Amino acid sequence: MSTATVTRPGPGGPSGPAAPGSPSGRPRSAWERVRTYTPSSRYLPVITTAALFVGMFSVGGARYEGFADPQVFLSLLLDNSFLIVLAVGMTFVILTGGIDLSVGSNVALSTVIAAKTLEMGWSPYLTVVAVLVTGTVLGTAMGLLIHYFDIQPFIATLAGMFLARGLCYLISVDSIPISDETFQTWAFASVDLPGGYYVGWTSIVALATVAIAALVLARTRFGRTVYAIGGNESSALLMGLRVASTKVGVYAISGFCAAFAGLLFALYTLSGYSLNAVGMELDAIAAVVIGGTLLTGGRGFVIGSLLGVLVLGVIQTFISFDGTLSSWWTRISIGLLVLVFVVVQRFMTRRQP
Amino acid sequence: MTQTDVPPATDDVPGQATDDGPTPATGPQPDPGTPVVEMRDISITFGAVAALSGVSLRLFPGEVHALMGENGAGKSTLIKALTGVYTIDSGTILVGGREQDFATPAAAQGAGISTVYQEVNLVPNLTVAENMMLGREPRRFGMIDHRAMNRQAAATLERLGLDVAPGSVLGDHPIAVQQLVAIARAVDVEARVLILDEPTSSLDSDEVAKLFEVMRRLREAGVAIVFVSHFLDQVYEISDRMTILRNGRLVEERMVAGTTQLELVQRMIGRDLEVLDQLDREPASAAPTRGTPLLTAVGLGRKGSLEATDLELYDGEVIGVAGLLGSGRTELARLLFGADSADTGSVEVRASRRRLRSPRHAIDRKIAFSSEDRKGEGVIADLTVADNMLLALQASRGWLRPIPQATRTRLVADYIEALDIRPADPNALMRHLSGGNQQKVLLARWLVTEPDLLILDEPTRGIDIGAKTQIQALVADLAAKGMSVVFISAELEEVLRLSDRLVVMRDRRKIAERPNDGVSVSDVLEIIAGEARSEEETAHV
């Protein structure tokens, strides 16, 4: 192909909106780049959610005494660590255009398995492995059904949801307390921060999950294939991408994350119970949506889902600080927020040519 | 039909012959005598149907090879055989002189055969660079190196002369640019053969020029390009060599230079003009009475599907629309009915100022449209004949006013008898009927609404000769009773036999309109081939 003579195209050739800092442009000063920087529309939803979170936190700080204390924020992370992990897994699934309704039941199943095996005297490490393997296998099985039998994700994971919940009762109908020493240590482990603050280990683990997931989505072929499938599955197939393994993979990841969240939940409550986490899959979906991920797939970031969980958490904190509001206001606010975000998303996608 | 053997390659030297760009004076020009791909005697059957029988194709480096043929000629089947989508029943595929048998599209891609389809098969939500590099991104320490990826993509874009920012989101670009990015993805690998299947169908003329510029660059670089297009002018502008197919058989391979468009159209349609002229045609029905036009279209057009077109329709008149596939026949019908919304111009019915904006408007004004896509836009396979037939009438009455049972039974029985629908069972499921009978039910669906104007797009496609004549007779009968009909068909004889007035389309334009007074098939072919265009345009009614 050495004979091709390259000439610059004349004006009037098709050209897209030049991205800031595009390699074909002339070198620009750092200040000029900062001054002319406009965030890509891809990041807008995440920025909006971040602004919403900061705004709500500031309003809370102004209205209620003690709200602005950094420890409130750290507790927010601690109280929602399992939901953060759950939302991470859900983000993978939703990015491909799918949905996973089974994660709430999967969390409950994980807590019950953890409590039961510990009660039976298993090593806590073996318990962790057993829980994670169970969750991942459940997720993989649903992924295989969805991809190879072409079953709607909604239906396949609905079946998984009932299956997992049913299995909980098979293991134990009653709540089982966890008295294992290792688990107790993990549950209360925390890192002291300067100024007398502390951050729970579970929060750190949850944030690490977010970071790893963000890296996988942005910088691996698997991650980019997730976005490609959400953009157009048949195109992804024609482009020769590994659609099958990726689709099954996201449900496996979601199952793994659900089991992992289940462990965190077991540490949080130090018990295993069949009725744990009823409807938690919907909280996870709400967090992902509020975090700016399109339900049709292809657009969104895990960092948005983290912010989504924090927004949900701050609403709860608001209501507990206020003291006069009924806790149902949490649900009402979440409902309104989801509605607003979905409508905004609709407008954003409609602008696409 | 004679199986034309491939002509000796030494006679007509491929490449450069019709190149209007500057040909590279230097550089290792690959030996023009050896094809990079040679398909010999390829046959493929689907069930009992022979989709391809004994077709050969030779692709030379540095040449644009047009694959010509009407719908169903086997062009896509041949392409899919080459790209590993279909497996061949017999014949050999040689790539670079070695026999190959591609089991998957990925295998063909690995051998340097890339395909760009009519629809842009990329993902709109990722960047241009990602779309070009997905699946083969440069990696560092196991992680995608975005910087290197953007650099590589930019280099490829520049090589093709495309001014597109690699970091911009693909979906923000117009379709034409997306199409060019798809080509950039295809040639980014070591593409020796690039197959472009109808790449221009959604592009306007500036965008086509840009595409051709890219194609010329690739040709100069020694890529063998397969170009499939229904636009004859485009084929003549860019192609060096062509292979003509008809009904799954090879007609011939020849150089584009030295083939007139008339010859090409004759070979694609596959009839001898002298023989066609001798066919006796029934005289067209009596000239319709004029007056206020039933429907007036002024400057009706839509970007990428039809250039601004004027048309007037009168009561009791059959307008035949002739033209090759992709000439804009269907697009005209859809715009007249309001199924697609027009960018320019308007349609007025009975000189009323109200414009048609949707099919609903059209139906309210007693216009009916039977789509060419019988399966997709017509038949509801799981409903009964009676339900299918009464669908349009029920829709125009509104769902709150059901058709009385007695009327239902009577209407359905009447039309089953009148159109000779078999089986004559109102409760038979539509899926069990033959294509011809399904078509009759669809006709009945619109006839029960008693329209003033019936637009029929390919009503006789793929149905047997008996049903075909019945439908033709029915159309003539309806026109005699005062209904106005727009009749669109790929079969010119049929159009000429039925119509009072003839509209000839080509390249999404109306190129001629004239009364059907002894027009012959060869006249029409000449108009389409552009040989007599200027003369015919003055022959306006």
Express each pLDDT in B225-242 by its tens digit. 999 987 788 889 999 999
Q: B75 is written with which tokens?
A: 């062009």
Helix (H) or strand (E) holding A269: helix A243-269
Question: If you average pLDDT over every residue of chain B, what do you get?
Answer: 80
Number of H helices, E strands in chain B: 19, 21
Residues of B in contact with A221 (CB under 8 A): 135, 137, 139, 144
Which residues in chain B touch residue A14, judged by CB atoms under 8 angstroms apart?
A: 162-164, 173-174, 176-177, 180, 207, 210
Residue B73 lies in a domain: yes
Where does the pLDDT of residue A108 fall: very low under 50, low under 70, confident under 90, or very high at 90 and above? very high
How far apart are the C-alpha atoms of A217 and A96, rounded to whole Å?
12
pLDDT tier at B466 (50, 70, 90 boundaries)?
A: low
In this prediction, residue B19 carries a pLDDT of 38
The tens digit of pLDDT for each residue in A270-318 reads 999 999 999 999 999 999 999 999 888 999 999 999 999 999 999 888 8
Nearest to B134 among A41, A215, A228 (CB): A228
A23 interface with B at CB cutoff 8 Å: yes
Among B404, B422, B449, the domain-final residue is B449
Whether B43 contacts B91, CB under 8 Å: yes
Residue B27's pLDDT is 36
In a domain, B118, yes or no: no
Tokens representing A109 are: 């199943």
| A14, A220, A221: residue with CB nearest B177 | A14
In a domain, B43, yes or no: yes
- Residue whose entry in the numeric block shows the structure tokens 């590589």: B152
pLDDT at B126 over 50: yes
Res. B353 pLDDT band, cuts 50 70 90: low
Do B531 and B456 lie in one domain? The reply is: yes
Q: Is B268 helix (H, G, I), strand (E, B) or coil?
A: helix
pLDDT the model gives residue A37:
64
Do B386 and B338 lie in one domain? The reply is: no
Q: Check whether residue B198 and residue B104 sit in a common domain.
A: yes
Task: Tell whether A298 is within 8 A of chain B (Cβ).
Answer: yes
**Beta-sheet strands, E only, within B150-222:** 193-197
Q: Do B144 and A21 touch (CB under 8 A)?
A: no
Q: Is residue B362 located within the same domain as residue B459?
A: yes
Same-domain pairing of B324 and B387: no
The predicted pLDDT at position A6 comes to: 36
Q: What is the pLDDT averaged over residues A203-225?
A: 95
- Percentage of chain A surpassing pLDDT 90? 61
The sign of the CA dihedral A147, A152, A158, A159 is negative
CB contact under 8 A, B159 and A239: no
Token representation of residue A181: 């020493």
Which pLDDT value is given to residue A15? Answer: 40
Tell whether A38 is within 8 A of chain B (Cβ).
no
Question: Residue B87 sits in which domain range?
Answer: 37-112+190-270
Nearest by CB: B169 against A7, A42, A219: A42
Rg over alpha carbons for chain A, rounded to the nearest Å, is 23
Least confident of B12-26, B227-241, B257-271: B12-26
In-domain check, residue B165: no
Binned at pLDDT 50, 70 and 90, residue B32 comes out as low
Disruptive mutation site among A222, A239, A296 for chain B (greatest number of B CBs within 10 Å): A239
Q: Nearest residue of B to residue A229 by CA position?
A: B123
d(CA A283, CA A318) in angstroms, rounded, equals 17
* B131 and B185 Cβ atoms separated by less than 8 Å: yes
User: Are B387 and B496 in a shared domain?
Assistant: no
Q: Which residue of chain B comes nearest to A4, CA vs CA?
A: B221
Interatomic CA distance for residues B425 and A244, integer angstroms: 46
- Scanning B10-52, the segments in alpha helix (DSSP H) are none
Average confidence (pLDDT) over B265-280: 58
Report the SS3 class of residue A117. Answer: helix
Residue B230: in which H helix or E strand, if any?
none
**B83, B125, B162: best to mutate for the A interface, most A CBs within 10 A:** B125
Residue B71 CB: number of other CB atoms within 10 A?
13
Q: Which of B449, B479, B511 is the last residue of a domain?
A: B449
List the CATH number of the domain containing B456: 3.40.50.300
**Out of A219, A221, A231, whose CB is closest to B125?**
A231
- Contact criterion met (CB < 8 Å) for B177 and A23: no
Residue A264's pLDDT band, with cuts at 50, 70 and 90, is very high
What single letter denotes the amino acid at residue B228? V
Test mutation, B120, B134, B179, chain A, max A CBs within 10 A = B134
Helix-strand-coil split of chain A, %, nearest 5: 65, 5, 30
Same domain, B215 and B354: no
pLDDT surpassing 80 at residue B444: yes
Report if residue B307 sits inside a domain.
yes
pLDDT the model gives residue A351: 52
A241 closest CB neighbour out of B134, B158, B210: B134
Number of domains in chain B: 3
Contact A288, A101 (CB under 8 A): no
Considering only residues B252 and B534, tell me which one the structure prediction assigns the higher pLDDT.
B252
- DSSP, collapsed to helix, strand or coil, labels residue B511 as strand
Residue with the two structure tokens 């026949």: B329
Long-range contacts of A241-249 (CB under 8 A, 24+ apart): A241/B134, A241/B135, A244/A147, A244/A148, A246/A96, A246/A222, A247/A96, A247/A98, A247/A143, A247/A146, A247/A147, A248/A140, A248/A143, A248/A144, A248/A146, A248/A147, A249/A143, A249/A222
**Residue B149: what pLDDT?**
92
Q: How many residues does chain B have?
A: 541
Question: Would you say residue B359 lies in a domain?
Answer: yes
Domains of chain A, first to last: 43-350 (1.10.3470)
Residue percentage of chain B with pLDDT more than 70: 85
Instruction: Answer yes or no: do B168 and A16 touch at CB < 8 A.
Output: yes
Residues B383 and B263 in one domain: no
Q: What is the mean pLDDT of residues B155-162?
A: 86
Question: Considering CB atoms only, which of A12, A24, A298 is closest to B123?
Answer: A298
Closest residue in chain A to residue B219, using alpha carbons only: A4
The whole-number average pLDDT for the span B204-216 is: 84
Q: Which of A280-294, B63-77, B178-192, B298-312 has the highest mean pLDDT?
A: A280-294
Coil, strand or helix at B233: helix
Under the banding of pLDDT at 50, 70 and 90, the label for residue B462 is: low
B294 contacts B288 by C-beta, under 8 angstroms: no
Q: Average pLDDT in the B29-49 region?
A: 77
- Average pLDDT, integer, range A175-202: 91
How does pLDDT run across B383-441, given as a tens digit for each residue? 889 999 988 888 888 778 888 888 889 989 988 888 888 778 888 888 877 777 888 89
Residue B172 C-alpha, separation from nearest chain A C-alpha, in angstroms: 7
Q: Do B526 and B391 share a structural domain?
A: no
Among the listed ranges A167-181, A324-338, B199-213, B483-497, which one has the minimum average pLDDT value? B199-213
Beta carbons of A228 and B150 less than 8 Å apart: no
Disruptive mutation site among A224, A242, A246 for chain B (greatest number of B CBs within 10 Å): A224
Contact across the interface for B166 and A22, Cβ inside 8 Å: yes
Pick the residue from chain A with its C-alpha nearest to B114.
Answer: A239
C-alpha–C-alpha distance, residues A249 and A255, integer Å = 10
Q: In angstroms, rounded to a whole number, what is the distance separating the alpha carbons of residues B86 and A318?
A: 62
Global pTM? 0.69
pLDDT confidence of residue A227: 95
pLDDT for residue B530: 73
pLDDT of residue A28: 63
Residue B169 in any domain: the answer is no
Residue B289, CA atoms < 13 Å, CB-side half-sphere: 5
Mean pLDDT of B105-132: 85
pLDDT band with cut points at 50, 70 and 90 for residue B496:
confident
Contacts of B173 in chain A (CB under 8 A): 14, 16, 353
**Average pLDDT of span B125-149:** 89
Q: Which of A138-142, A184-188, A344-348, B308-312 has the highest mean pLDDT?
A: A138-142
Considering A247-256, B363-372, B517-526, the range whose residues carry the highest mean pLDDT is A247-256
Same domain, B466 and B356: yes
Does B495 share its domain with B351?
yes
* B318-322 and B501-506 strand pairing: parallel
End residue of a domain, out of B250, B270, B290? B270
| Residue B433 and residue B354 share a domain | no
Is it the case that residue B40 has pLDDT exceeding 80?
yes
Q: For residue A14, what pLDDT band results from cuts at 50, 70 and 90?
A: very low
Measured distance between the N- and C-terminal CA atoms of chain B, rounded to whole angstroms: 41
Query: How far is Cα B374 from Cα B393, in angstroms, rounded to an integer?
Result: 18
Cis peptide upstream of residue A45 (ω within 30 degrees of 0): no
Residue B1 lies in a domain: no
Global ipTM: 0.78
Which residue shows structure tokens 């020694």? Answer: B222
Indicate yes or no: CB of B167 within 8 angstroms of CB of A220. Answer: no
Taking only the tens place, the pLDDT of each residue in B85-100 is 888 888 999 998 888 8
Q: How many other C-beta atoms can be found within 10 angstroms of the C-beta atom of residue A206?
A: 26
Q: Which chain A residues have a beta carbon less than 8 Å from that of B122?
A: 232, 235, 239
Q: Is the pLDDT of residue B264 over 90?
A: no
Residue A12: predicted pLDDT: 38
* Mean pLDDT of the residues in chain A: 87
Contacts of B137 (CB under 8 A, 6+ apart): A221, A224, B130, B144, B145, B149
Q: Name the residue among A4, A41, A218 with its Cβ closest to that of B220.
A: A4
